């Protein structure tokens, strides 16, 4: 597991440090801040200096609280509170801290993903070298995990499931990120030139290490791996009202994973927060107070969504099943509450197309974006939505849902001379090819 972030921004533990009014910017790259020897001085400079030499902004006007958290992380980096690498998992991911050294987010750079060029962990390099035939997931677009993380958050917000910690694409730079030797040498050279020849330094577009683009997911506190609590629930019964709430939250997880076709959902990469009610044992209040105690509260957070949005259903080596399908909660038919929440939206083709359009705006920001591949991704997602809609109408359970034949729904294109445009008709097709290892 690479992280542990929040389903709700309100759970973020942050401190708003006083500071002058400045626009939200990514951390600066230079070390003209005084003090210390040149060897120990950081490659990051005061924010105003980067603006002097050129920079960029991380602006999210539609989500001011999220923007504030990003701004706090930038200021913490300015002050030397650098992101800390997470040693679990197979990619280069980082705990981002605020100025008080508290974790507030998880950042996953694009170029440090499991098969990225700058992945600091040797396990995937060894995997690629020794077993190239089983290298990666052939159904996924390489090095787009950060978009998948942000896309899962977008789907979650669109359907108001509220189980994915807010995640967006952010650009950050830190000396603790994994850079190649050339980038570090260039940053040091520019820093020295800017210090000794300020007028010449002003001609540089950027001072210091280049920013990295990646997913920035808010961090949640008090959560543990689902596997930890699920094992405890096997021999420790929970109150009926808490169990009902957990079932509803579980169904939201199923809906999210099925729509985005998550290929990496195990019980170790979704989180549960189980808060046992505190009992006031003050005898002065009388024994009747024991009857006023609330039942334990439970919440879940769906993290690690970077291996989703395939452009085809798995049909080669592995099936990549949803591991929650083996849980007893998966055998219970979908509740009326969840049907009322999502079925009207998923049954509306205008809503589905609007969801595809929002994902298009997100995915096209990637330099390697390919429209035809994206259309295939959306065809798979439409097919998943079609199956899910039918399963909800037929009162099926999550187990019965994942047993339905996989389908893709492709949007047809009409031609008018040399101009080709999307039409309002769709073609439905079923996949008849199954993976070699369908049991794993």
pLDDT at 412: 81
In order along its 440 residues, the chain shows pLDDT tens digits of 455 544 444 444 444 444 444 444 444 434 333 344 444 444 444 444 443 333 346 889 899 999 999 999 999 998 999 999 998 877 789 999 999 999 999 999 998 888 778 877 666 666 666 665 555 678 899 889 999 999 999 999 999 999 999 999 999 999 999 888 888 888 788 777 777 777 776 767 667 788 999 999 999 999 999 999 999 998 888 899 999 999 999 999 999 999 999 999 988 889 999 988 766 555 554 444 545 567 889 999 999 999 999 999 887 777 788 999 999 999 999 999 999 999 999 999 999 999 999 999 999 999 989 999 999 999 999 999 999 999 999 999 999 999 999 999 988 876 555 555 566 777 877 776 766 565 54
**What are the two backbone dihedrals, phi and then psi, of residue 45, each rounded to the nearest 5 degrees?**
-110, 170
Nearest to 72 by CA among 102, 34, 44, 49: 102
Would you state the pLDDT for residue 328?
A: 94
Residue 301 exposure: Cα atoms within 13 Å on the Cβ side: 28
pLDDT at 183: 82
Q: How many CA atoms lie within 13 A of 60 on its CB side?
A: 18
What pLDDT shows up at residue 56? Answer: 43
Can you give the pLDDT at residue 421? 58
Instruction: Give which of 256, 304, 260 is closest to 91, Cα–Cα.
Output: 304
For residue 439, the SS3 value is coil
Please report the pLDDT score of residue 125 as a whole number.
62
What are the C-alpha distances in Å from 407 to residues 203, 380, 382, 428, 438?
Answer: 55, 7, 9, 7, 17
pLDDT of the residue at 28: 40
């Amino acid at each position: 597991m690479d992280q542990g972030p929040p389903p709700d921004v309100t759970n973020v533990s942050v401190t708003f440090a006083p500071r002058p009014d400045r626009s939200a910017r990514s951390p600066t790259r230079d070390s003209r801040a005084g003090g210390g020897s040149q060897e120990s001085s950081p490659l990051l400079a005061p924010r105003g200096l980067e603006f002097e030499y050129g920079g960029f902004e991380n602006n999210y006007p539609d989500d001011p609280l999220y923007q504030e958290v990003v701004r706090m992380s930038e200021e913490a980096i300015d002050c030397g509170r650098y992101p800390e690498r997470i040693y679990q998992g197979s990619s280069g991911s980082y705990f981002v801290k605020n100025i008080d050294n508290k974790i507030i987010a998880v950042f996953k750079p694009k170029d440090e993903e499991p098969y990225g060029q700058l992945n600091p962990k040797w396990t995937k390099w060894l995997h690629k070298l020794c077993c190239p035939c089983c290298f990666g997931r052939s159904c996924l677009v390489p090095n787009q995990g950060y978009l998948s993380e942000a896309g899962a958050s977008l789907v979650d917000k669109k359907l108001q499931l509220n189980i994915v910690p807010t995640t967006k694409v952010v650009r950050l730079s830190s000396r603790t990120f994994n850079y190649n030797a050339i980038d570090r040498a260039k940053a040091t050279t520019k820093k020295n030139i800017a210090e000794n020849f300020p007028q010449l330094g002003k001609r540089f577009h950027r001072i210091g290490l280049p920013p990295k683009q990646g997913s920035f997911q808010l961090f949640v506190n008090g959560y543990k791996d689902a596997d930890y609590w699920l094992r405890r629930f096997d021999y420790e019964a929970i109150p009926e009202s808490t169990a009902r709430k957990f079932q509803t939250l579980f169904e939201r997880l199923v809906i999210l994973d099925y729509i985005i076709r998550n290929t990496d959902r195990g019980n170790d990469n979704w989180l549960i927060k189980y808060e046992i009610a505190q009992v006031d044992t003050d005898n002065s209040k009388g024994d009747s107070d024991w009857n006023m105690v609330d039942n334990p509260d439970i919440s879940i957070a769906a993290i690690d969504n970077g291996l989703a949005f395939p452009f085809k259903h798995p049909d080669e080596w592995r099936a990549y099943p949803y591991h929650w399908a083996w849980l007893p909660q998966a055998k219970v038919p979908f509740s009326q509450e969840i049907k009322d929440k999502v079925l009207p939206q998923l049954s509306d083709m205008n809503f589905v197309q609007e969801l595809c359009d929002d994902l298009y705006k997100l995915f096209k920001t990637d330099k390697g974006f390919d429209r035809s591949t994206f259309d295939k991704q959306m065809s798979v997602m439409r097919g998943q939505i079609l199956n899910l809609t039918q399963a909800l109408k037929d009162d099926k359970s999550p187990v019965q849902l994942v047993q339905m034949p996989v389908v893709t729904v492709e949007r047809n294109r009409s031609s008018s001379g040399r101009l080709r445009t999307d039409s309002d008709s769709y073609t439905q097709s079923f996949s008849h090819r199954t993976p070699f290892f369908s049991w794993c």
